[in-house]
Structure 1
Amino acid sequence: MIAEANVSSVTVSPQRANVNVKGASALSLTWNVTRFEPTAPTTVLVSSTNAVLQINGSTVANLGGLLSRQSSLAAAQSETLRFNEVLSISPALARKIAEAPAGSVLISRTFTDTQTTGLARLSVFAGTGQGGALSINRIDLKFDNDARTDVIAKGDTRRAIAEINFRSSGLLKGEWRIIDPSASLGSARGRILQVVRQQVVSSGQGRTRIVSPALPTAKNGLYLLTFSVEDADGIAELPVLRYFVLEGATDRPRDNLTTLSPGNGARVSQDTVFAWENVPGALAYQIEIFNPGHSKVVSGKVVSAKDLKLRLSAFSLDNLTSGESYDWRLRAFDQEGRVIGSSPRQLIYMP
């Protein structure tokens, strides 16, 4: 007679687990396998080769080892076999879990009695999950035209965007703060442009996007903008956006600013230094990088007039590609936001 025993269900306890964001973790799990024999006595081996860690449906690691127990059933009898194990999560796997979208990480085991199979899964999260304190671990700022530094005509409308990475859930408390041309460049915090209170929810790694109100453009000159948040212990320094407001485009001079390095056509690296001569009356300088022959800025940086050089590593390099050539130029601005110096475009190559 052919045995007809079945694995009728597999469950796991707990059904969700949290791992350390940094360092190794140990997960204590109990797998419960229920079998039923409808007709004849059977003795079989119930086993599972290993547990599987999956992120977004893709297997990233095999965990644990073989679990097996013998099961003997009489006709019309059922039983539940319990398998206890401790799974080790390495620091490398913990980093992958922390970087994964919340709810996308699963650990599963498939059990078989050589005739039928059953599967159980538990969800895995980084940190303390929804019950833990909100933690902000990254803030990225840019303007709504994707620029990291900008020159805006007086009266024009521009907004900024804060992309925020966080863990756990809670009330995000933030402030858009700005230093306008009437303030000292040494004013560290500036004035509050807008207070933000937003509930954010994640069982692991979360991300949210916050748009600023329309930025001030009534006065000519240099503006510094930042988004300050509570619970940002993991951020050493808040990013700052810089923009200049100009009266208009009619005051742009001819190319009259002398740059010292890099030379035209130079191969550059992150250690390349951009250097230039002082322009009397300058309040700030702006380096702009373009695709050759185009006017849209792909990267750039505004610095105080006390700086006459800047390393390429100080730029946002996200939009610069190895193996591509770019144009760059330098402009100088006075206290009123007028362009008082400009260099001709030069070519650089990123190997």
Structure 2
Amino acid sequence: MKNITVVLFTLLSLTLSAEASVSSVTAVPSKVTVLPTGGGVSVTWRVVHTISAPATTVTSSPSYDIIINGLTVLTVSKSLSRTTTPTVGVPETLTFSEVIPVSVTLAKQIAKGGNNARIQRIFNDGLGAGTGFAQLIAGGGASGALNINRIELSFENGGKTNVVGQNSDLRAVAEINFVSRGLLQAEWRVIDSPSIRGGQFERRLSQVRRQLSSSGNGRVRLVSPKLPTGTTGLHEVKLVLIDPQTQFTQPVLRYYVNPNSTPGLSRLSPLEAFRPVEGVPFNSNTVFDWHPVAGAAAYQIELFDLPGGKNPLNNLNAAPLIVSPFDTDAELVVGKIVPGTQTSSTFAGFAEKHLLHGSTYLWRIRAISSGGTVLAQSDFRKILYP
């Protein structure tokens, strides 16, 4: 009986300890160009891991190595870390983006190594580790094929989501990071509300052809044509790269078009938000959840700068009558639109680059109908970005 107890205890211990495992680490792009003058190279690491028992895991990498011809020539202590609570048995993908500086001396070493150089990172979630590599290719000034490293989309006001009136003037902006030179070919595309519900039919707004050239890390800003705002409801817009092709997921912006009406004719219904509670610090995995609103086709989570005044919450929550996103003196910093079938969401990492550490922000949630009308909104609450 004693032996059976020992065996059961051992099996139970093994089961409880096998909570997480890193299955893959992928670098995007897998090859990055290093110029003779050095500079920074941008790399995004995609880490996939799975838990087999409920647990909060910390997935991290304390440093990276530069390896040339099989020898480690440089180790840099630079921690990347993320704390999450994944769904049991469902692979979770975490992304970590960084810019790695390359000195002129290191650039020369990479060139002499015959392109047999790489960046290496090892990610560990506590019980399992995975290793990822990005190959370093020696470039020659502005020569070589055009390579797009990153695309960031926003509206002209800097927001990631927007709610506008019918027939408003609205445009999107693409910030593109690239190296080397070549012809950029792309298309601005939009998906209208009926297509979003019934099959994601994209239509082209305009073509983009731009000759790009840079002896270092280049950057170009592209502005879209006027976006369609004649039809109320949800719309999506994106810049689709035709050439050169990329290995990363291209971003999408969402906006709502409200029907033209006189604001303030009726008071908005209150929306009950549950989390985050006061005092919980904000991070990419902070969960926002709320009570569903009848007729909501989407919900918009908004973070605002804290305005001046001794009692800003009293003023902001006094009379929620106006249904535009600019019904307050507080400046909208970042927002996210989620489908009406959801009643919880996180910002999943993209919000942090718009926030300042140690700052307090206000947040609220709004329910929006399929016609773009704001149905209800929650009171403003404070949250700290530590």
Q: Settle same-fold status: TM greater than 0.5.
A: yes
Whether the 8 Å contact between 1:141 and 1:162 is mirrored in structure 2 is: yes
Q: Is residue 2:354 matched to residue 1:329?
A: no
Matched ranges for 1:87-102 at <5 A: 87-89=108-110
Superposed counterparts of 1:117-196, under 5 Å = 127=139, 129-185=141-197, 187-188=199-200, 190-196=202-208
Say yes or no: does 1:254 pair with 2:268: yes
Deviation at 1:270? 2.4
1:306 is the counterpart of 2:341: yes
Counterpart Cα distance in 2 of 1:160 and 1:95:
36
Q: Cα distance 1:347–1:243, how it changes in 2: closer, same or farther (>3 A)?
A: same
**C-alpha distance in 2 between matches for 1:289 and 1:343:** 12
Asked whether 1:209 is paired with 2:209, we answer no
Question: How many angstroms does 1:188 deviate by?
Answer: 4.3
Take 1:130 and 1:61, find their aligned partners in 2: how far apart are those partners?
18
Match of 1:318 in 2: 353
Provide the residue aligned with 1:226 in structure 2: 238
Greater fraction of residues in helix: 2
Tell me the percent identity: 38
TM superposition shift of 1:310: 1.1
Amino acid of the residue matched to residue 305 of structure 2?
A: N
The C-alpha deviation readout for 1:244-286, integer Å capped at 9, x for no partner, is 1112434674251111111134333322100111112111110
Partners in 2 of 1:24 and 1:157 — Cα distance? Answer: 51
- What is the CA distance between 1:322 and its match in structure 2? 1.6
Which residue number corresponds to residue 292 of structure 1? 306
Match of 2:382 in 1: 347
* Whole-angstrom distance in 2 between the partners of 1:342 and 1:60: 48
How far, CA to CA, are the matches of 2:233 and 2:110 in structure 1?
53
Partner residue, 1:51: none
Asked whether the 8 Å contact 2:153–2:252 carries over to 1, the reply is yes
CA distance in 2, matches of 1:307, 1:335: 15
The 1-side partners of 2:189 and 2:266 are apart by 30
Q: How far is 1:218 from its partner?
A: 0.7
Structure 1 unpaired stretches of 5+: 1-15, 27-58, 65-85, 97-124
Displacement after TM superposition at 1:228 (Å): 0.5
Larger radius of gyration: 1
Aligned position for 1:273: 287
Residues 75-114 of structure 1: per-residue CA shift (max 9 Å, x gap)? xxxxxxxxxxx952399xx999xxxxxxxxxxxxxxxxxx
Closer, same or farther: CA 256–127 of 1 in aligned 2, 3 Å: same
Secondary structure at the residue paired with 1:313?
A: coil
How many Å apart are 1:236 and its aligned residue? 2.1
Q: Distance in 1 between matches of 2:237 and 2:335?
A: 16
The separation in 2 between residues aligned to 1:127 and 1:189, in whole angstroms, is 40
User: What one-letter code is carried by the residue in structure 2 that aligns with 1:209?
Assistant: R
RMSD of the TM alignment (CA)?
A: 3.3
In structure 2, the partner of 1:9 is: none
Secondary structure in structure 2 of the residue aligned to 1:169 = strand
Q: CA deviation at 1:327?
A: 0.8
Alignment of 1:98-113 (within 5 A): none
Q: Which amino acid in structure 2 is aligned with residue 173 of structure 1?
A: Q
Give the counterpart letter for 2:191 in structure 1. I
Structure 1: which amino acid aligns with 2:205?
Answer: L
Alpha-carbon separation, structure 2, partners of 1:229 and 1:280: 39
